């Protein structure tokens, strides 16, 4: 009656199946970290786990549903670590730096976030998509609560901040997603361009501008 499922044993009970599903996700996340989104293949994932490809599709309807699940997990995980680092009455700069560094530190969160809408959400069944959105709504709520304390903003303002930070994070980290040009010989102007799109300062500077903008918009919220 053990709940452990050895790799060659079948998962029969609901509990064992949940366990196997989690094991798949765990290997998938490691593998994703290794090779990145584009090179991620279901066949290779199956081999890595020691299951047949078809078996993966018993646990996830599509490749994208697997990614969506990893995204939901990573959102919750990042959200928690971010909150843990927050304190009451922070400057908007410290808040933003915190947000950026915790998000970057999670190797799964940002890469999946930036592919969410135009890749992952296509090819996922609508009910699954809805449940993911509800996870998101819930996290916004949780984050807004602490943000409100941390930045001394009204709840409505804090919600606005949280939603906008997501948008900015997607835009600002875009530059980190290009091919590595570290050891390439680049003309000086291109070098300078890359430096000027360095994601951390880009995010922080604009996050501060936005937060202070929201703060300045006093009572009326339009």
Task: Choose between 12 and 118: whose C-beta lies nearer to its own copies.
Answer: 118
- 163 interface partner picked from DNA, its own copies, none, CB below 5 to 8 A per type: its own copies
Q: Which of 108, 121, 139, 144 binds its own copies (CB under 8 A)?
A: 121
- 52 interface partner picked from its own copies, DNA, none, CB below 5 to 8 A per type: DNA
CA distance 62 to 123: 7
Task: Name which of residues 48 to 87 contact DNA (CB under 7 A).
Answer: 50-55, 57-58, 61-64
Task: Name which of residues 94 to 113 contact its own copies (CB under 8 A).
Answer: 111
Q: 188 near 123, Cβ under 8 Å?
A: no
Which tokens hold the place of 188?
A: 């000086």
Task: Name which of residues 16 to 45 contact DNA (CB under 7 A).
Answer: 17, 20, 40-44
CA distance 53 to 70: 18
Which tokens hold the place of 216?
A: 């300045």
- 156 interface partner picked from its own copies, DNA, none, CB below 5 to 8 A per type: none
> Is 167 near its own copies (CB under 8 A)?
yes
Closest CA to 96 of 142, 140, 150: 150
Task: Choose between 15 and 217: whose C-beta lies nearer to its own copies.
Answer: 217
Q: Which of 25, 58, 94, 170 binds its own copies (CB under 8 A)?
A: 170
Task: Name which of residues 40 to 69 contact its own copies (CB under 8 A).
Answer: none
- 72 interface partner picked from its own copies, DNA, none, CB below 5 to 8 A per type: none
> Is 119 near its own copies (CB under 8 A)?
yes
Q: What is the DSSP string of the chain?
A: ------TTS---SHHHHHHHHHHHHHHHHHHHHHH-TTT--HHHHHHHHTS-HHHHHHH-SSHHHHHHHHHHHHHHHHHHHHHHH--SS--HHHHHHHHHHHHHHSTTHHHHHTTIIIIISTTS-HHHHHHHHHHHHHHHHHHHHHHHHHHT--HHHHHHHHHHHHHHHHHHGGGGGSPP-TTS---HHHHHHHHHT-HHHHHHHHHHHHHHHHHHT-S---
Which residues in this chain contact DNA in the complex, by CB under 7 A? 5, 8-12, 17, 20, 40-44, 50-55, 57-58, 61-64, 123
Which residues in this chain contact its own copies in the complex, by CB under 8 A? 37-38, 111, 114-119, 121-122, 126, 129-130, 133-134, 136-137, 163-164, 166-172, 174-179, 181, 184, 186-187, 189-190, 193, 196-197, 202, 206, 208-210, 212-214
């Amino acid at each position: 009656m053990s709940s452990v499922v050895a790799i060659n044993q079948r998962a029969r009970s609901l509990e064992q199946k949940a366990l196997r599903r989690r094991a798949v996700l765990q290997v998938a996340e490691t593998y994703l970290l290794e090779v990145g989104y584009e090179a991620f293949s279901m066949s290779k994932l199956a081999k890595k786990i020691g299951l047949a490809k078809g078996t993966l599709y018993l646990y996830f309807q599509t490749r994208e549903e697997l990614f969506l699940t990893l995204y939901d997990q990573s959102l919750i995980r990042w959200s928690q670590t971010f909150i843990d680092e927050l304190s009451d009455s922070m400057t908007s700069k410290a808040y933003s730096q915190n947000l950026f560094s915790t998000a970057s530190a999670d190797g799964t969160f940002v890469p999946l976030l930036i592919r969410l809408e135009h890749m992952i959400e296509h090819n996922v069944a609508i009910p699954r998509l809805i449940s993911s959105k509800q996870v998101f709504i819930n996290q916004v709520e949780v984050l807004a609560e602490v943000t409100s304390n941390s930045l001394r903003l009204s709840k409505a303002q804090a919600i606005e901040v949280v939603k906008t930070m997501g948008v900015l994070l997607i835009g600002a980290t875009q530059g980190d997603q290009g091919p590595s040009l570290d050891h390439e010989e680049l003309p000086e102007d291109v070098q300078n361009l890359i430096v000027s799109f360095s994601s951390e300062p880009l995010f922080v500077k604009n996050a501060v501008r936005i937060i202070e903008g929201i703060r300045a918009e006093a009572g009326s919220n339009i």
